[in-house]
A and B are shown apart, each in its own frame.
Chain A
């Protein structure tokens, strides 16, 4: 059986121009490989500038890789294959209010995703959006709300609804919990765990909160200066880390 997501020798480098022909190469991500099964959660941890967000952006298709391959269900994903990516890999961002369009209602934003990716008629689209809203714990009435009318927790729920509205296989969350209050954060984590159970979605988290990672992740990937330091199941990494860096990061939360 093929794995849901396989990443092989994926790398990313930028060229920093210093003159007309001259330039220096900046390596953001050295070649790395990992894989993800259906219904699993992968957490990517590391410092700022360690390349953890770069991995998330490459998988979501926000950037083109410089080398290597990403395979979804055994089929290689091209960087330009937007329709395919958009249906199967969705992303949640850190600042929920800023990632929603303030000028159109919540329902319309969700419907846009459905309209461009399915050939359903208007009534089915509407019904599907309302159902999705209910799944994330919002009411059908929220269809007509504008983003600013909702609280921060509800905004984050809308972002999650936008991610699951196309029934994707993978959701990439880049620091999605940092700006939430503790009680709201716990609610959102519960919601994500429930959705994972019901729909069998795989999650990729980018986070630096040790507590949350230990709680939700099946596998952890540790990044340091663009290199993958360690990759393995959470239990193994927490209890028997190979590298001192991993131990510091996971056990004390300090370096």
Chain B
């Protein structure tokens, strides 16, 4: 059962050169308890997608979609007040550089207790206050912080980046959301810290049935037990499928190139030249027509100036005129 259902989402920005489709007909489905990895290079609109789901919307953006449903709510049909209630109850987000968005003026304990929804606390003032503290401690235990009492007294500058990310996860899960959007949560983190954060997210998803939309830049920094993976490039969905399919049997040239470039393939000889996409990522003002990968794609032909239709096969979908065939 899909709890998040996005069909043909388009986001248009007004620039001096006229409207630009930053996200172009993007479809994404997320099932309950699933970890979905969204891979995209910079400028692919992946953070914009997260904002569109959460409703952090700039009034100048024009958002249209055939479907943008969260469970049985049509998110685009709700008024801002209703949407705020739904989003606040069911969704949460964590960001990159966690140390920089914790409030430097307050201790971790103060910030964490603020995140606990007041509606769930019962009794008189003193009772509520102690309850809040106890719950904050319990949250820290749940994200794997053992010296909870000690950490609560500290200020953000006194803790490491990995710890800060754990605390931001604790704040995000304080109201037990159904969907957690993680926007590059481990960029510029050490491999060991990254592994810890991923293990924690995997455990939370398994134990609480929480869906996670994991946004990353690179296939190497993918969460190990993610079930599905989608690749976006310049706002267009390139390929989407189960993680196994994407890693082992890619259909889209972009997926293939990303796999080769990430050096996940052991067959590349050391010190040999890497296969890569030529050129640079186009800027918003100069997006190519048709398939946006076109100018950089090794398999591009004349037909690529038309936007390719999306081919769907069971769980797997890709948008390419000349996909890599299965025997290749």
List residues of A (189-211) whose CB comes within 8 Å of B's CBs. 189-190, 193-194, 208-211
- Tell yes or no: B268 within 8 A of A by CB: yes
The answer on a CB contact under 8 Å between A208 and B191 is yes
The answer on a CB contact under 8 Å between A183 and B263 is no
What number of A residues sit within 8 Å (CB to CB) of B?
32
The answer on a CB contact under 8 Å between B271 and A215 is yes
- Tell yes or no: B195 within 8 A of A by CB: yes
Besides A209-B220, A255-B192, 16 more A-B contacts (Cβ < 8 Å) are: A47-B190, A154-B280, A181-B41, A181-B42, A181-B217, A182-B258, A183-B41, A186-B260, A186-B274, A189-B274, A190-B273, A190-B276, A193-B272, A211-B220, A211-B262, A215-B274
The smallest beta-carbon distance between B198 and chain A, in angstroms, is: 9
The answer on a CB contact under 8 Å between B271 and A183 is no
Please name all residues of chain A whose beta carbon is closer than 8 Å to the beta carbon of B195 when the two chains form the complex: 253-255
Count of A-B residue pairs with CB < 8 Å: 78
Beyond A183-B41, A209-B220, whether A216 also contacts B271 by CB under 8 A is yes
The smallest beta-carbon distance between B215 and chain A, in angstroms, is: 14
Q: Closest A-chain residue to B254, C-beta based? A: A183
Which one of B194, B261, B271, B280 contacts A193 once the chains associate, using CB atoms below 8 Å? B271
Please name all residues of chain B whose beta carbon is closer than 8 Å to the beta carbon of A208 when the two chains form the complex: 190-191
Please name all residues of chain A whose beta carbon is closer than 8 Å to the beta carbon of B220 when the two chains form the complex: 209, 211
Which one of B188, B218, B278 contacts A182 once the chains associate, using CB atoms below 8 Å? B218
Q: Which residues of B contact A (CB under 8 A)?
A: 41-42, 188, 190-192, 194-195, 217-220, 257-258, 260-264, 268, 270-278, 280-281, 283, 296
The smallest beta-carbon distance between B284 and chain A, in angstroms, is: 12
Please name all residues of chain A whose beta carbon is closer than 8 Å to the beta carbon of B190 when the two chains form the complex: 47-48, 208
The smallest beta-carbon distance between B14 and chain A, in angstroms, is: 23
- Tell yes or no: A234 within 8 A of B by CB: yes
Q: Which residues of A contact B (CB under 8 A)?
A: 47-48, 151-154, 178-179, 181-187, 189-190, 193-194, 208-212, 214-216, 234, 249, 253-255
Please name all residues of chain B whose beta carbon is closer than 8 Å to the beta carbon of A187 when the two chains form the complex: 276, 278
The interface residues of chain B, by DSSP majority, are classed as: loop
The smallest beta-carbon distance between A50 and chain B, in angstroms, is: 10
Nearest 10 interchain pairs by C-beta: A255-B192, A186-B276, A211-B263, A254-B195, A181-B41, A186-B261, A186-B274, A183-B277, A253-B191, A182-B261
The smallest beta-carbon distance between B186 and chain A, in angstroms, is: 12
Please name all residues of chain B whose beta carbon is closer than 8 Å to the beta carbon of A249 when the two chains form the complex: 191
Q: Closest B-chain residue to A248, C-beta based? A: B192
Given the complex of chains A and B, what is the CA–CA distance between A199 and B257 in angstroms? 29
Beyond A211-B263, A253-B191, A254-B195, whether A182 also contacts B217 by CB under 8 A is yes
The answer on a CB contact under 8 Å between B188 and A178 is yes
6 CB contacts below 8 A, A to B, read A47-B190, A48-B190, A193-B271, A194-B273, A215-B263, A253-B191
The smallest beta-carbon distance between B24 and chain A, in angstroms, is: 19
The smallest beta-carbon distance between A198 and chain B, in angstroms, is: 13
Given the complex of chains A and B, what is the CA–CA distance between A4 and B48 in angstroms? 50
Given the complex of chains A and B, what is the CA–CA distance between A185 and B276 in angstroms? 9
Please name all residues of chain B whose beta carbon is closer than 8 Å to the beta carbon of A181 when the two chains form the complex: 41-42, 217, 281
Given the complex of chains A and B, what is the CA–CA distance between A254 and B193 in angstroms? 8
The smallest beta-carbon distance between B125 and chain A, in angstroms, is: 43
Q: Closest B-chain residue to A48, C-beta based? A: B190
The smallest beta-carbon distance between A128 and chain B, in angstroms, is: 26
The answer on a CB contact under 8 Å between A255 and B191 is yes
Q: Closest A-chain residue to B217, C-beta based? A: A181
Please name all residues of chain A whose beta carbon is closer than 8 Å to the beta carbon of B41 when the two chains form the complex: 181-183
The answer on a CB contact under 8 Å between B258 and A151 is no
The smallest beta-carbon distance between B216 and chain A, in angstroms, is: 10
Q: Closest A-chain residue to B43, C-beta based? A: A181
Please name all residues of chain B whose beta carbon is closer than 8 Å to the beta carbon of A234 when the two chains form the complex: 270
The smallest beta-carbon distance between B203 and chain A, in angstroms, is: 15
Given the complex of chains A and B, what is the CA–CA distance between A48 and B263 in angstroms? 23
Q: Closest B-chain residue to A249, C-beta based? A: B191
Please name all residues of chain A whose beta carbon is closer than 8 Å to the beta carbon of B274 when the two chains form the complex: 186, 189-190, 215
The answer on a CB contact under 8 Å between A185 and B270 is no
Given the complex of chains A and B, what is the CA–CA distance between A181 and B258 in angstroms? 10
Q: Closest A-chain residue to B266, C-beta based? A: A214
Given the complex of chains A and B, what is the CA–CA distance between A186 and B274 in angstroms? 6
Which one of B191, B261, B280 contacts A185 once the chains associate, using CB atoms below 8 Å? B261
Given the complex of chains A and B, what is the CA–CA distance between A179 and B220 in angstroms? 14
Please name all residues of chain B whose beta carbon is closer than 8 Å to the beta carbon of A154 when the two chains form the complex: 280
Please name all residues of chain B whose beta carbon is closer than 8 Å to the beta carbon of A185 when the two chains form the complex: 261
